Amino acid sequence: MSDSKRLVDLFTVKAGLVSAIVAPVKSLDEALAYTVDICEKKDACQILMSGCESDLSTGAGALCDEKPSKVMVAPGLPGETFAALKALCADRGIHCLDSGMRKHLGGIDIGFTIADAGIAETGTLVLDSRSEELRLATMLCEVHVCVLRTSTLRETSFDAEELVRAYCKDGPAYLAFVTGASRTADIERVLAIGVHGPLELHILLLED
């Protein structure tokens, strides 16, 4: 087995263990189509998943009313990629943004990003989160879709050490390791996904 295939397999298994959904894609276009697709398939009342179906205190409930239509955010993409995504979204009536996350604190349907690297051993995405927009996009969204180029995969976190150092030396910096969706087991040790951040994490493995 080639080394790259081995890492892809390892990554897929490990990310699966933390209930990330891993799918291979052949091109960035395919990734965009995939993303718009799940946004469209996403229940129109998706926001219910995030607690709005429950009775909330008045202030918190007000946030639930803030969201007009489905929102996809994709900050920090190369211009043409974002344009392509925006066009796909427009076809399906999805609001697509690359900035202004703070206006959408009530919730975002999909956050779309491209990872800087991946760590196979733990199924981890490494994301340069210097941009506040990107950080918020990946935290406020209900579904985070992230493209991971297989050429950036490494086996262990130590193999990513130099990369982490390079980012941290170039401060101010904010680097994130993301492994699976936001989770908690704080009530009776029962696992619950999506306590603050995304309820789902999709990782699209792009062979390059």
Residues that bind another protein (CB under 8 A): 14, 17-18, 49-52, 54-57, 59-64, 102, 105-106, 121-124, 129-132, 135-136, 139, 157-158, 161, 164-165, 167-169, 171-190, 192, 194-197
Give the nearest distance from C-beta 39 to another protein in angstroms. 20
3-class secondary-structure state, position 41: helix
Q: ω into residue 172 within 30 of 0, thus cis?
A: yes
Distances (CA, A) of 91 to 27, 37, 84, 85: 20, 11, 11, 10
Give the nearest distance from C-beta 73 to another protein in angstroms. 14
Q: Which is nearer to another protein, 14 or 42 (CB)?
A: 14
Neighbours of 154 (CB within 10 A): 20
Q: Is the dihedral of CA 102, 108, 114, 118 positive or negative?
A: positive
Half-sphere exposure of 113 (CA within 13 A, CB side): 27
Give the nearest distance from C-beta 186 to another protein in angstroms. 4
Q: Which is nearer to another protein, 5 or 102 (CB)?
A: 102
Q: Which is nearer to another protein, 64 or 84 (CB)?
A: 64
Q: Which is nearer to another protein, 24 or 61 (CB)?
A: 61
